[in-house]
Structure 1
Amino acid sequence: MKTASIDSILSTLTEQGSAGLLKGIKRGVERECLRIESNRLAQTSHQNALGSALTHPYITTDFSESLLEFITPACSDIDTTLAQLEDIHKFTLSNIGNEELWPLSMPCFIEDQDEIRLADYGTSNVGKMKTLYRQGLKNRYGSMMQAIAGVHFNLSFPTEFWQKLQQIDGNSAPLGDYISEKYFALIRNFKRELWLISYLFGASPALCNSFLGGRKTNLPFESLGKGTLYLPYATSLRLGDLGYTNSAQSSLRVTYNSLEEYLEGFKQAISMTSDLYHQFGTYKDEPAKQLNQNILQIENEFYSPIRPKRNAQSGQTPSEALADGGVEYIEVRALDVNPFSEVGISKEQIQFLDVFLLYCAIKPSPDLAWQEQIETQANLDLVVNRGRQPGLELSNKGKAQTLSSWADSIFIELKKVASLFDDAFETTQYSDVVSKFAQAVEKPELTYSGKFLAELLESQEDNGYYALKLSTEYKQKMLANSYQVFGESVFSAHAVESHEKQKEIEESDDKSFIEFLDDYFK
């Protein structure tokens, strides 16, 4: 798709007074965190006072009973989104007794994966399917990997902004098709330069040796304290080979050059059988150990740092929703939990992501060939393990380029985009944030991973015990805060309503579990 240059787009938007369209951007945050008690993983069930994990709109669980997921509704004001997230944290912490919330991505103090209880969603067919899916994940990858927490950031640009951009591009396609194409252009550019997000915001350069569970690794770990392993220049071990990855998916060729191409790749991926997982059988076996023998049990098993999304109707799969209505928003899944924020993400990060994602959307984005997609992954792997190493070289279209020089060239463009946001919101905050993070290119100690590791090395303290002090500090602070948006009565009402909804779903089932899954996989 033909597109104008970044400079011409920014110039036109400024000249026509259209920067204000950016005020309609909507964002949402999904923050995962483990419940802990003292220095161990909480063994309690999801607390009744928090509502039903199956149906609550804001508080649910992810892989395990102890892995909470907090979800904010789509909102066009960053401060409101963060206030909502703080309210969710306050209510949760008020209803989990002596337990606290783990402030890191990488888990600790788990000696055996059987300590990690699978999430329970009740007796309905859909609830049992969710639990069986997690049983499959446990058998395929082990529960320890599934105990890793992250932050997902959802963003959509307003329709009026896309209309203006389409006009600037001189594009005459149906608006919905144009929007989908531009989101895929964004995704391609994001994948090309994802390494920068890992460099700046990666916050998992260290892990507890219990996480390895005796597994061998070729990574040159150094030791700290009684049981901490770290790589001196690492940024985000969560995104590396030890973290939330799936080597079995390396045979899948899902590409991002168009909605149609993406959906076709997904269709093939979801139906591809796996010799590796054949041993676990299907949902018809007794006892069932996974949903099916494919490389992906369901679409959500596909690991990607960014996804095109559309809110699905009841009964729709994610790809069916995309096929029916096109891309509605994107989900960034590459963020570590920020240990320097009580809620796992900061306003500065969100503002930077606003700028970075708009930059990805308006920058020319040629097709991303499979070989180049492999190159983007290789760059990410380098930055994950050695991102802060002086003079580190990446591969830019097959040519070696230092991380610092590439990052500098990106920041030149980001500063231009930040000025447009400043105009829209009548502030200098966006330019200030981009300038602040630009300093981390020449000073790696200013990155999140650099600051985190420096604190550990200075104190010679295990990262687990450092995190325990943070979790206690953050709980006290959250409990002392007042509700800002929702209020305790709102959460309590949602909890009651969610339990009622779960009961209705369970009572409405008119098929056996096997029949339900037979229909689902048709």
Structure 2
Amino acid sequence: MKTNSELKALYQNCRLGLEIEEHRVTATGHLSQTPYPGHFGSRQSHPYFQSDFGESQSELVTGVFTSTQALMQQLTALQTIWRQALPAGEQIWPFSMPPNLTENEQHHIREHFGRPAYQAYRDYLKTHYALSQSLTTGVHVNFSLPATLDLPVAAHNALYFKIAQSFVSYRWLLTYLFGASPNAAPSHLSALSSALKAPVRSIRNSQFGFTNAVTETIPYTSLAAHVQALDHAVTQGDLYSPHEFYGPVRLKGPAAISDLLTQPIDHLECRVLDLDPFSANGIDQTTVEFLRLLLVFGSQQPAKTAAELAQMQQWNRDVALEHPLSSSQFAAPAEQVLAQLATFAQQIDAPAAAQAVANMQQRARHPALTPSARIITTAANWQALGCQLGQQHQHTALQQTWLEVWQAQQIPPAVQQLLALAYRRGITVVAWQATTGTLTLAYQGQQAHFSATTQGLYPLTSVQGDQPELEQQLQAAFQTLPPLDCTTNPAAD
């Protein structure tokens, strides 16, 4: 048991990152059939912008931060850059469940893919999963222990697994609080159960969602049991690779699965969140604050038995299929857990987390405040709502200036457009030092520093349009950077 000061340090210095999966769609809610924007560079190496199973299925990846505010500011910047780069008439689909797909659209998705390096795995997925399942999107939260926490490998990995196991055991609560996939399109429902005729809390987190039979057999009872079962499933060909393990938490680190027992785990990838359609970012800061607290809280929880984990897994299945407006059958244990989290937030002096818990307590007491309930009460047709929300978020992004995005970080207008261009071009933003007015960027192992005090260097107020002189500066600093007008080499993706 750690002291309150040690837990406070763990909470303040742990690092979080986000991966947001989302689809490009037309204004009428059809998946985009335009190619992936080539001017963003190769998806194989881009640190911020990737794509997934479908060419319309983009993935925005943030860096890792100890500050929740800085994390959300970067996510806002990435979402703004991505939306402003979309062709006219396109927007982002706000839901995890894809829109309805006609036969012609399904054929187009199957036949068009621009990442040769991943073609074999994609072909495998096409033969093993319904198309709509592979097109389901969500939010991944990446959690890392503090960089200054120096533990032997065994203790380091044991702490990571303890947090992972605790997180898995509370999945049912997260499905209640953040479930946002109450409906599915007809093209998706045709492959699912009649149990989904009425709205539910989260199709994605149910047994009809983003999972597979093998994943359900990989235990979280102990690190050794988890690693051995996952390694066996891949070795025997039951899973194509660790990428096909769709469990609620992935242990990320060494390339070889078995090395997770002897080499340090790098981070946890928590994979249970639906997209929040009411947030332009797909997730809001209150949710991130709550998850940060829950993960650190897990470091103090006792180990769960196989029976307890099986019970919690069944609870999640039950919660996922409850009607969004009904009181959960697990309302009492939800209140108990949230009360414990409220006490924990006070113990470690985390006011932002305490406020997030208070907000979640209101959701626990009032189901109408949950995302799925808000979806079904806002509009009778959820796909029409998706078009409406997508249009609203797109309009906001097109009106956004970088002064609004980065004003809290004290980034002067003289730096903002260069920063936006670096994000788009796949140049890693290392740091902005407000005290010295220095922006540090990195590309392919090389670092370069840009001063905000150079007169006339960064004339900008809005993201609209790239200033040629900024691109020239990047080309001069990073000589291996492909020219801006160079189309992406498909083989490099």
Q: Same fold (TM over 0.5)?
A: yes
TM-score by length of 2: 0.79
TM-score by length of 1: 0.75
Is 1:59 equivalent to 2:49 in the alignment?
yes
Is 1:309 equivalent to 2:281 in the alignment?
no
Aligned partner of 2:346 among 396, 419, 444 = 419
Aligned partner of 2:394 among 475, 479, 497 = 475
Q: Who is 1:381 aligned against?
A: 317
Q: Who is 1:24 aligned against?
A: 13
Give 1:82 shift. 1.4
Indicate how the Cα distance of structure 1 residues 372 and 480 shifts in structure 2: closer, same or farther if over 3 A, else same.
same
Query: Which digits, 9 at most, give the CA deviation of each residue in 1:114-148, with x for residues without a partner?
Result: 2324674555xxx1xx1210111111012111111
Aligned partner of 1:181 among 158, 176, 179 = 158
Is 1:133 equivalent to 2:69 in the alignment?
no
Indicate how the Cα distance of structure 1 residues 352 and 60 shifts in structure 2: closer, same or farther if over 3 A, else same.
same
User: Is 1:105–1:149's contact at 8 Å kept on the other side of the alignment?
Assistant: yes
Aligned partner of 2:194 among 218, 237, 244 = 218
Q: Who is 1:157 aligned against?
A: 145
Q: Who is 1:256 aligned against?
A: 220
Is 1:81 equivalent to 2:58 in the alignment?
no
Aligned partner of 2:366 among 443, 452, 467 = 443
C-alpha distance in 2 between matches for 1:335 and 1:134: 23
Q: Who is 1:298 aligned against?
A: 241
Is 1:345 equivalent to 2:334 in the alignment?
no
User: Is 2:25–2:93's contact at 8 Å kept on the other side of the alignment?
Assistant: yes
C-alpha distance in 2 between matches for 1:325 and 1:23: 25
Indicate how the Cα distance of structure 1 residues 209 and 504 shifts in structure 2: closer, same or farther if over 3 A, else same.
closer
Tell me the percent identity. Answer: 24
Q: Who is 2:423 aligned against?
A: 491
Q: Who is 2:22 aligned against?
A: 33
Q: Who is 1:243 aligned against?
A: 209
CA-atom RMSD in angstroms: 2.7
Give 1:328 shift. 2.3
Query: Which digits, 9 at most, give the CA deviation of each residue in 1:319-354, with x for residues without a partner?
Result: 255345222221110000001110101000000001
Q: Who is 1:358 aligned against?
A: 296
- Secondary structure of the 1:154 match is strand
Give 1:494 shift. 2.2
Give 1:491 shift. 2.9
Is 1:335 equivalent to 2:258 in the alignment?
no
Indicate how the Cα distance of structure 1 residues 506 and 45 shifts in structure 2: closer, same or farther if over 3 A, else same.
closer
User: Is 1:148–1:244's contact at 8 Å kept on the other side of the alignment?
Assistant: yes
Q: Who is 2:463 aligned against?
A: none
Q: Who is 1:196 aligned against?
A: 173
C-alpha distance in 2 between matches for 1:181 and 1:215: 40
Q: 5+ residue gaps in structure 1?
A: 164-173, 223-230, 273-293, 394-402, 508-522
User: Is 2:96–2:138's contact at 8 Å kept on the other side of the alignment?
Assistant: yes
User: Is 1:33–1:103's contact at 8 Å kept on the other side of the alignment?
Assistant: yes
Which piece of structure 1 moves more, 179-188 or 148-157? Answer: 179-188
Is 1:429 equivalent to 2:406 in the alignment?
no
C-alpha distance in 2 between matches for 1:120 and 1:380: 34
Is 1:105 equivalent to 2:96 in the alignment?
yes
C-alpha distance in 1 between matches for 2:482 and 2:135: 26
Indicate how the Cα distance of structure 1 residues 392 and 47 shifts in structure 2: closer, same or farther if over 3 A, else same.
closer
C-alpha distance in 1 between matches for 2:138 and 2:38: 24
Indicate how the Cα distance of structure 1 residues 208 and 78 shifts in structure 2: closer, same or farther if over 3 A, else same.
same
Is 1:464 equivalent to 2:364 in the alignment?
no
Q: Who is 1:148 aligned against?
A: 136
User: Is 2:181–2:204's contact at 8 Å kept on the other side of the alignment?
Assistant: yes
User: Is 2:24–2:93's contact at 8 Å kept on the other side of the alignment?
Assistant: yes
Give 1:453 shift. 1.6
User: Is 1:52–1:498's contact at 8 Å kept on the other side of the alignment?
Assistant: no
User: Is 2:249–2:268's contact at 8 Å kept on the other side of the alignment?
Assistant: yes
- Secondary structure of the 2:66 match is coil
Matching residue's letter, 1:329: H
Q: Who is 2:461 aligned against?
A: none
Aligned length: 422
Give 1:307 shift. 1.5
Matching residue's letter, 2:346: S
Give 1:159 shift. 4.8
Indicate how the Cα distance of structure 1 residues 120 and 209 shifts in structure 2: closer, same or farther if over 3 A, else same.
closer
C-alpha distance in 2 between matches for 1:339 and 1:37: 16
User: Is 1:65–1:119's contact at 8 Å kept on the other side of the alignment?
Assistant: yes
C-alpha distance in 2 between matches for 1:209 and 1:69: 25
Indicate how the Cα distance of structure 1 residues 47 and 175 shifts in structure 2: closer, same or farther if over 3 A, else same.
same
Q: Who is 1:268 aligned against?
A: 232
Equivalent runs, 1:363-374 vs 2, <5 Å: 363-366=301-304, 368-369=305-306, 371-374=307-310
C-alpha distance in 1 between matches for 2:51 and 2:13: 30
Query: Which digits, 9 at most, give the CA deviation of each residue in 1:278-323, with x for residues without a partner?
Result: xxxxxxxxxxxxxxxx22111110110112222x5xxx34x25534
